[in-house]
Amino acid sequence: MRISVIGCGYLGAVHATCMAQLGHDVVGIDVDAAKVAALAAARPPFFEPGLGELLESTLATGRLRFSTDIADAADAEVHFIAVGTPQLAGSDAADLSYVRAAIYSLVPVLAPGALVVGKSTVPVGTAAMLSHVIQPTGARLAWNPEFLREGFAISDTVSPDRIVYGVAPGDALAEAQLDEVYAGALAVGTPKVVTDYATAELVKVSANAFLATKISFINAMAEIAEATGADVTQLADAIGHDARIGRRFLNAGLGFGGGCLPKDIRAFMARAEELEVDQALTFLRSVDAINLRRRDRMVDLAREAVGGSLAGKRAAVLGLAFKPNSDDVRDSPALDVAARLVAAGASVRATDPKAIETARLRHPELHYVEDWTDAVRGADVVLVLTEWDDYRRLDPDAVGSVVTRRAIVDGRNCLDPVQWREAGWHYRALGRPPAVGAEHPGAVQPEAERGAEREADHVRGDVVRQQ
Ligand code: UDX
């Protein structure tokens, strides 16, 4: 099929490349000339495993082009809208200006019978509104949410675990056109769900809300574990064996970040408020708050590890990306913690295998080093904030030989506490006991002790009454 993809950010660049790889004839359109030039030269403007190679091989087939000129999209049968919907400054709501701009730029070149397919994550009701803009051209609109995860973007696009089409009532042609686009995935039995516009829009935001809730649920359990001496990683393993719960997305730690989950749950709440059903989503306010509290706790653990004050202490930050295999630092918990350490007076050396340059753009005041060995040298405390394989595999003795003090805080529960403690480290993690058999504030006193205390209170009460 002849396909255009409007917007060549993360979603659009991957989608355009994968559609060409599947055999379609694709043009990717973006207003950013530098981005278009980079993609046309097989240089992805962000890090995604395998994308550079795939760009190179698909560009070589002649089926993939990139352009800044919307007129190059004119002869496409299907136009995907893949522009961003970031959080509006000073509000929880989504900024739809890029979606509107993409649709309005497309309208003059739309041919009757063409299908415009929204992929961007939008507030429910957006598709119905945009379909009126498109209608006079004789083209039609469908909504086809995308569920790709950064780091797995290619496999998630080529082999999705489900395909959702939101179509206008009675638009059987839209379903047939999309079936042709996704013929490969459908042929191997990928489930397809055909809905109305509103349901398709909601599928995306509710999936992200559910995932965010699952992460915040286990992080809430981490808070309880910290107060009681329990171990949240064992708790997650144990409840995860229940197939109804499942172990995936139950990793407690520094919480979720990135360009999707945080802004999508906020935009969902904002939309619910407009629809006067905000009570239905008040729990998402807690989900957001639990997630942000983990960052405070991480700084507290670092402070404790260096004896009570971070002022003048050297902290090594390992990891800046919001998750491994990504250079994305949008709403990254790791980068936020690094900045908070600086604000608390620590001297921070931060590193990441891929995200130093993206982090520098947002936090130029941080001191970045290329290599983790430079970050940890002379450190009073080491913080692991993104669970890159390089950091999971760190050797406690090798790291220990260059630090000033053997203190480590594991923000992703990705290290083995036994191994690190045996090597003489003060090891702390979110949701795990400070040490084997350690005292904790929530310990329930034995009945005998409580009886003795009650007795003492009684006597004290008598004394008070007598006075
Ligand atoms: C997410 C959705 O998974 C994807 O379906 C949607 O299309 C876009 O948003 P992504 O942002 O790439 O994808 O990241 P994801 O793998 O979902 O992780 C999100 C965040 O949650 C990361 O910061 C990650 O570190 C954190 N996370 C994930 C946890 O803290 N614990 C977990 O158990 C899983």
State whether the beta carbon of 387 lies less than 6 angstroms from ligand 1: no
The per-residue pLDDT for 465 is 42
For residue 466, the model assigns a pLDDT of 42
Active site residue 260: yes
Q: How many CA atoms lie within 13 A of 91 on its CB side?
A: 12
Bridge partners, residue 94, by sequence: 87
pLDDT exceeds 90 at position 330: yes
In degrees and rounded to multiples of 5, residue 285 shows phi and psi of: -60, -45
Cα(149) to ligand 1 centroid in Å equals 7
Mean pLDDT, residues 313-320 taken together: 98
What residue ranges of the chain are covered by domains with CATH 3.40.50.720?
2-195, 209-429
Active-site residue, from 8, 18, 260, 414: 260
H helix intervals, 229-331? 232-240, 261-274, 282-305
pLDDT recorded at residue 435: 82
Q: What is the CA radius of gyration of the chain?
A: 26
Looking at ligand 1, which residue's alpha carbon is closest to its atom 16? Answer: 149
CATH of 2-195, one of 2.130.10.10, 2.30.42.10, 3.40.1080.10, 3.40.50.720: 3.40.50.720
- pLDDT score, position 462: 47
pLDDT band at residue 457 using 50, 70 and 90 as cut-offs: low
Whether the CB-CB separation of 24 and 14 falls below 8 Å is answered with no
Distance 326 CA to ligand 1 centre (A): 11
Query: How do beta strands 140-143 and 163-167 pair?
Result: antiparallel
Report the percentage of the chain scoring pLDDT > 70.
93
- How far does Cα 349 stand from its chain's mean position? 24
- At 455, is the pLDDT very low, low, confident or very high (cuts 50, 70, 90)? low
- What pLDDT, on a 0 to 100 scale, did the predictor assign at position 446? 58
| pLDDT tens digits along 415-432 | 999 999 999 999 999 999
- The 3-class secondary structure across 290-303, one letter per residue, is HHHHHHHHHHHHHH
pLDDT band at 464 (very low <50, low <70, confident <90, very high): very low
- The predicted-structure confidence for 41-59, as pLDDT tens digits, reads as follows 999 999 999 999 999 999 9
Q: Is the CB of 211 under 6 A from ligand 1?
A: yes
**pLDDT surpasses 50 at 151:** yes
CA-CA distance, 92 to 270, in Å (whole number)?
6
Q: Which of 323, 412, 414 to mutate for ligand 1's pocket (most ligand atoms within 8 Å of CB)?
A: 323
- Region 63-70: what's the mean pLDDT? 98
Q: Residue type for 6, please?
A: I
Q: Which CATH architecture has domain 209-429?
A: 3-Layer(aba) Sandwich (3.40)
With a cut of 80, say whether residue 456 has pLDDT above it: no
pTM of the model: 0.94
In this model, does residue 467 exceed pLDDT 70? Answer: no
14 lines ligand 1 (CB under 6 A): no
When pLDDT is cut at 50, 70 and 90, the band that residue 332 belongs to is very high
- Whether residue 368 contacts residue 339, with contact meaning beta carbons closer than 8 Å, is answered with no
